[in-house]
Amino acid sequence: MKKIVINKCYGGFSLSHKAMLEYAKIAGFKLYGYVSYRDETRKIDFDKMIPYNEKDEPFIIYYSKKKLTRNINKQYNNLDKKDYFSSRDFARDDPILIKVVESLGAAANDADAELKIVEIPDNVEWEVTEYDGLEKIEEKHKIWD
């Protein structure tokens, strides 16, 4: 049987910060998180990013395989594609992803996610479909329009 990770609530597939770091650890690379700067009124400035310190609840955490220093926004926007890292890019049957979700359980869920591992027969051609972030696995078939 093949294992596949899907999101079972409205919102969207995403991993918690803890799960992202665990994935990187198992995969053998260092991961750096960055968030949009907030001033004392908690106004978000999407044009100014700072390193994520795990003390604040960010709107979005942006990940890089490279440590960024001064001018983080400029550096982040100019990264090579291989240096960006996002849970939305995971193959849903990725063995490391499966391991992280199995080991962390609910702690692997980001704020708007409820991850579940579904098992399907090995010989099935499958795809993940979603409605408003709520996902399911469907057997691939041809569609003509």
* Mean pLDDT, residues 88-98 taken together: 95
Beta bridge partners of 6: 116
Count Cβ atoms below 10 Å from residue 52 Cβ, excluding itself. Answer: 16
Instruction: Show the tokens assigned to 75.
Output: 């550096």
Give the model confidence (pLDDT) of 1-58 as tens digits: 999 999 999 999 999 999 999 999 999 999 999 887 766 666 666 667 778 887 777 7
Rounded distance, CA 29 to CA 56, Å?
Answer: 24
